[in-house]
């Protein structure tokens, strides 16, 4: 009987041991870690070339803006999930 009680105490104490859990923040998607394209530089002084460079730079800027906003949304969502699990 004593060994049964002793075994029960040992068994129950083993179940109550708290083990630390290491929490790692999730990795960012690779597409959001890429740097934005560099803006184009005007090579000549013609108006048509100027307009082409301006349009191209606006396109690059807006593509980069979409990536940055995607990154910010992803980060905010992941951070909320990470912080809610304790």
Q: Which domain holds residue 76?
A: 30-86
Which of left, alpha, beta for 70 (phi over 0: left; psi -120 to 50: alpha)? alpha
Domain-embedded: residue 18: no
Give a yes or no: residue 23 inside a domain: no
In a domain, 20, yes or no: no
pLDDT tens-place string over residues 32-79:
778 888 999 988 889 999 999 999 999 999 999 998 898 889 888 988
Task: Using a cut of 0.85, tell me whether the model's pTM lies above it.
Answer: no
* Alpha-helical runs (H) found in the chain: 2-15, 30-33, 47-84
Number of domains the chain contains: 1
């Amino acid at each position: 009987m004593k060994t049964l009680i002793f075994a029960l105490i040992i068994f129950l104490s083993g179940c109550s041991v708290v083990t630390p859990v290491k929490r790692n923040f999730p990795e960012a998607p690779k597409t959001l870690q890429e740097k934005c394209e560099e803006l184009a530089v005007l090579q000549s002084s013609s108006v048509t070339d100027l307009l082409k460079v301006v349009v191209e730079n606006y396109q690059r800027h807006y593509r980069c803006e979409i990536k940055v906003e995607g990154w910010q949304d992803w980060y905010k969502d992941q951070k909320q999930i990470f912080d809610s699990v304790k």
